[in-house]
Chains A and B, each alone.
Chain A
């Protein structure tokens, strides 16, 4: 990038950081430039989901967000989920189920699933499909991804959801009823 003209500060994977940027720069470009290459470019048009990151806990397309829209907010990428020694639950199940073929869609799938697991208590099929409908995969037919996801969700539901799970994030709508 030719020198940034602006800066943007946001919490990235739990750590507050400030980055050089330009008003025109998309969050995806900034993330990959700064070394967070687990978030992938698949279309640049907000249609395939390979660039899914969490913005204040909600799954979003990093290719559509301007980097400066993240100011003061919290961003989570795939790098925050699991390690070789300690993979995330869903990652473990994906590997075990044979659900990772080319793998290009998988980080995005994991982020959307993470949002689902951390936001909802009810993992009815319809809700799960709605959470995952923005992540395209051309290799697997979704079968084994679904099997792995259902396994993790059913286990989480059986174990009781974490108390931190909220219906919406702090930046979302406040549901007030008269």
Chain B
């Protein structure tokens, strides 16, 4: 991606106005690391939004609110009641990337390897989009297709709201990679609500290894109302094959990725269950 101009708006409204005027010739710039993956010979104008106070992590009642321009390393470092975002953030790319890459940058234009959409889907997060005023979009709707569609008119993502996990709720994620900092072969995130050892509700999402992050509804269905034990998790994981279109990666076959996903689902569910039972932090 080539840049021909660099603008630094001083307010959200000004940023939106500038982006609307630039149209396809404008590009939101937070960390800028994603630009490296975007081809394009026609130069664009970078609209730098890092000066708009969008870098924060706050807890307000039932929600954590993370500013869209918050670097991943801040999310990795943050600790709050039943906070679980650090688990995936510490696995994304390298230290230098995490210092610059933002949560907004990871979810406004979703690449197939993106991990955060998977986590946010499982957590039932809500994305705050500014279009003159704020609108909250639940994750299922936000990630129903390429979120870039929401930002064509200069609208901006300003925050991500993540529910504070209640008691008996647990979160677990697994990211399978060849090396510690490599792109994911498959990423699984699971949120379980337990009551008396039984799964009251489940949200299970997958990314990488499939063309686009999504929830695995057949897996969720196989968990609902059942005991939170390994045998149940295994059977539910076996429903993953039919739940999504698994794709090969890194020279490995689609069939292998599916097998890997099934094991990863099992592992993520075990972690989520342990979290829900209160044994993990």
User: Chain B: residues with CB nearer than 8 A to chain A?
Assistant: 2-6, 8, 29, 32-33, 36, 43, 45-46, 48, 50, 55-61, 66-67, 70-71, 73-78, 80-81, 90, 93-97, 99-100, 180-181
Contact = CB atoms under 8 A, between A and B. Distances in A.
Nearest to A112: B95
A44 B277 CA distance: 46
A157 B193 CA distance: 41
Contacts of B67: 173
B59 A173 contact: no
B77 A167 contact: yes
A58 interface: yes
A66 B46 contact: yes
Contacts, number: 111
Interface stretch (A33-41, A80-88, A95-103, A126-134): A126-134
B3 to A, nearest CB: 4
Given A58-B99, A133-B181, A134-B97, A66 B6 contact: yes
A163 interface: no
Nearest to B43: A24
Q: Shortest 6 CB-CB distances between A and B: which pairs?
A: A134-B94, A173-B74, A23-B3, A58-B99, A134-B96, A178-B59
Contacts of B29: 66, 69
Contacts of B77: 167-168, 175
A59 B46 CA distance: 22
26 contacts: A6-B6, A23-B6, A23-B43, A23-B46, A24-B3, A46-B33, A46-B97, A55-B99, A58-B100, A64-B36, A64-B100, A66-B6, A69-B50, A112-B95, A129-B180, A133-B94, A133-B180, A167-B77, A172-B74, A173-B57, A173-B74, A173-B75, A173-B78, A175-B57, A177-B81, A178-B60
B136 to A, nearest CB: 19
Contacts of B78: 173, 175
Contacts of A66: 3, 6, 29, 32, 46
B48 A58 contact: no
B59 A64 contact: no
B222 to A, nearest CB: 34
Nearest to A176: B58
A31 interface: no
Most buried by B among A52, A129, A133: A133
Given A66-B46, A130-B90, A175-B78, A24 B4 contact: yes
A132 B95 CA distance: 7
Contacts of B36: 45-46, 64
B116 to A, nearest CB: 15
Contact of A112 (B59, B93, B96, B180): B96
B32 A65 contact: yes
A49 B96 contact: yes
A60 interface: yes
Interface in A42-73: 45-47, 49, 52, 55, 58-61, 64-66, 68-69, 71
